[in-house]
Amino acid sequence: MAEILLFHHAQGLTPGVCAFADDLRATGHIVHTPDLFDGRTFQSIDEGLAYISEIGFDDMRERGVSVADELPPELVYAGFSFGVLPAQKLAQTRPGARGALLFHSCLPISGEWAFGPWPDGVAVQIHGKENDPIFVGEGDIDAAREIVEKVEDAELFLYPGDQHYFADSSLPSYDANATALLTIRVLEFLDRV
């Protein structure tokens, strides 16, 4: 059994993010799903990003990071797209991390925007669509490939298609087949970390 801190994407803590967390809970894992938007959800990625911009990306990321202060250090950090920001920062900087699950996004581990090198002993899985204009077009796939190249226990899984939030069952972008495979891979990961 793993304890997971799962951060939502830019459209908020949607029913689909909650359903994904419930699927993990049904297999015996503890999953925390903080609502960084205080109950707000948005109809589009652009609307959600506009809200995040109002608050400030750094402030919003740190809001997520501070949630971990109330939890034990031996966590798996997970995030959907925008949620990767606090998840990846915690996985890379908070001592005791057991792993990271990065869905639809990935940040570089070198360069100006990096949190530093990936810590030894922290496993990571990265999941994205092979033609997602955000994951591929904005360079997240390159960051993911860098992690796989440099980190001992790192996996990148690409799925056919171009939808960004493909694992959120409450959105039109949902891909049931890809999500089923993603979930199998995530559960295998959680069983070994």
Could you read off the pLDDT of 54-82 as tens digits, one per residue? Answer: 998 889 888 988 999 999 999 999 999 99
- pLDDT of residue 52 exceeding 80, the answer is yes
- pLDDT of residue 108 exceeding 80, the answer is yes
All domains of the chain in start order, with CATH: 3-192 (3.40.50.1820)
Could you read off the pLDDT of 137-162 as tens digits, one per residue? Answer: 999 999 999 999 999 999 999 999 99
- pLDDT of residue 106 exceeding 90, the answer is yes
pLDDT confidence of 111, banded at 50, 70, 90? confident
Q: What is the mean pLDDT of the chain?
A: 96
Identify the pLDDT of residue 104: 97
Tokens representing 110 are 């070198």
38: CB partners within 8 A, 6+ apart: none
Percent of the chain with pLDDT over 70: 100
User: Cβ(144)–Cβ(174) under 8 Å?
Assistant: no
- pLDDT of residue 113 exceeding 80, the answer is no
CA distance 23 to 162: 24
Whole-structure pTM value? 0.96
How many Cβ atoms from other residues are within 10 Å of residue 53's Cβ?
Answer: 10
